[in-house]
Chains A and B, each alone.
Chain A
Amino acid sequence: MEDMKKTAIVTLNGTSHTCPIGTSLGTLLSHHGQGTMPCGGHGKCGKCLVTVKGEVSAPSNDERRILSDDELERGIRLACRTTVLGDCTVTTTEQGKGQIVTDGRFPASMKAQSLSPAFSTYGVAIDIGTTTLAARLFDSAGRLLSEVSRMNPQSVWGADVISRMEAALAGDAPKIAKVIRRALNAMVVDLATAAHLQATDVQALVITGNTVMLYLLTETDVEPLTHAPFAAQRLFGETLTADELSFTSLQPETPVYLPPCIAAFVGADTTTATLASDLREIPETSLLCDIGTNGEMVLWHEGSLYACSTAAGPAFEGAGISMGMGGKTGAIDRVWVEDGEIQAHVIGEASPIGLCGSGLVDAVAALLDTEILDETGYLEDDPAVIMAPVEITQEDIRAVQLAKSAIHGGMRTMIKTAGLSCDGVKTLYIAGGFGSYLDVKNAGKIGLLPAELVERVTVLGNAALTGAAMLLLCTNLRASCEKLARETRIVELASNPVFVNEYVERMMF
């Protein structure tokens, strides 16, 4: 009798590796430093796409949920959910034909649309985040050719929108506009260069961002955005030219579309994220949340959209936390408990120097698990060591409590306002950079998200940018997008008794 085969040969992006039968492709990929797993290999985010031919496990429920039948037929799988059963060939999608966007894939509704690009050669979609700028270059077939990001240079005027508006009001508005315009122009040049093109080959732009970011870009007076009743006169959904925005490397008449904002504090980024989430394409109620310095939320319920914005503060972006930092080399990005001991992973396998947002959420969950932290937020050992010399202080915990209850309280307020409980919400879409790296289970444990919704989370990545790309590639979506923004109802939180109560309630662990 022939011996049972114990190992298999896996050809990964053209290189052969021997591995034991039963190995997860996710493990294999991370071992060879290929592909990314933003959700930590939990089958949630759909980012670890691979094309597989050969003997592997049958598609799991997670894969059936995330992937279409057509994709499964073509051998597209989630690496984290696929097990090697014999010899096979695996290609990571980044090396594929560029049909699949690395972060934030186009939703089904877009696939069904025929493309109607705003250009015949190349176009660029940009998201102006308060912290980060991100941009993608596409060809007229909708293929992603290059992608760049950089820090928002406006940060010299403060990390939050309020300080930047103050600076603008104090007379720096022209300077702030100049700096952001110059940065965006440079990003278009970078995108073109990376795709072996000239910036002048770019024929159309779509620029999304929160309301304040678009006001500062267009040098619109921000004064009405700084106080109640927050009467934003200009809500965009308009086309300017490259010349008007001083994008000097482009042809002067190149059209630049600015998608519509919903209100003073719910911007075009929320509009485009809503578009990218496909929220309106399913009859069931669902909630979209972009977690950042502000948490913007959109609830889709019985044919209506409701939106709100909640001030979480920058804790999850690493600011305001004693050893907080961005997701760079040296940042602890994962923390877990093993045999009662706190374990941590450091980005770049370097010596730990701080905690990034995802690490912070995990660390708080681990402190709760080990009972170093109690349900009121009292820290038994202050500071608590996560991985020497990185530690968390009592004050850090308090900052996390304020931030997480703002997000969680906002979500519950939206759900309650619609007369629902969490049971009535089919899917919770999480958008934004931090959300992509978040361990949703731990987010539920620390009360950043309602625990009832953890199993119903879908991670979207930079949905604001994906939505902007949709408006670039399908110009016929613009009219419905403008309608969406007009018809979305704003739920006011600051003076809302439901929110105030939820905000306090969700501060505990």
Chain B
Amino acid sequence: MKILVAVKEVAALDEDFEIRDDQLDVDEDFLLYDLNEWDDFSLEEAMVIKESSDTEVEVVVVSVGPERVDDVLRKCLAKGADRAIRVWDDAMEGSDSVTIGRILSAVVEKEKPDMVFAGVQSSDDAAGSTGISLAASLNWPHAAVVAGLEYKPGSNKAKITRELEGGLSQEVEIDCPSVLTIQLGINTPRYASLRGIKQAAAKPVDEISLSDLGLSDSDVGVDAALSRVRRMYIPEKGMASMIEGTPSEQAAKLAEIIREFKGE
């Protein structure tokens, strides 16, 4: 039994950043890279299933990106994933989430997992569409924003709880294999043990190229993408008014604003 977990290395913005000259992204010097927060929960969910199962479960993490992405894959290996796969080719630069979904679906065809987990969204692009694109590309059942999961390895059905707007939850039965996008808070992600981190440093990350997946340059990259970034910029800031006065006066004015807001 195998669970494939799609993970992403996300970029967090450092303060006082600068936009690149081509105005398509932030200057890389100002980016801090880490594992996408949602993916930490996806991996933990896979690990919980693995550790509570009577049968053998293999957890495989996969990511699309250049060599530096190995760091987040090793982080996943340190937390207990059995194998890590990184897919990259320079032609993939500029791929959008639909194209990434297509690449990941080729990995799924190759690995033949019983379940696929992805994060609801990535913290940098926040498109929330990679997991769903992957399911569409595979023509598999999918469920988004999964906040609870009951799944026994080998079973052809899973019971999931989806988080809806307005504090509502929805219980759904889904056929397996399927693609689930996992929501924050579904579990408590573990810290990698020191031993796990050191062992992961020595573990190999399988590198897969386009040709290994039966894809060509025309299937990926900017030209294959259905959306393209035209410009990245900092919008003009809105007005904020400072509350002037001594601390006591500021407190009185703040209380007045709160009373007004409450309609008192």
Judge: A and B partners, yes or no.
Answer: no
Interface set of B (CB-CB < 8 Å, partner A): none
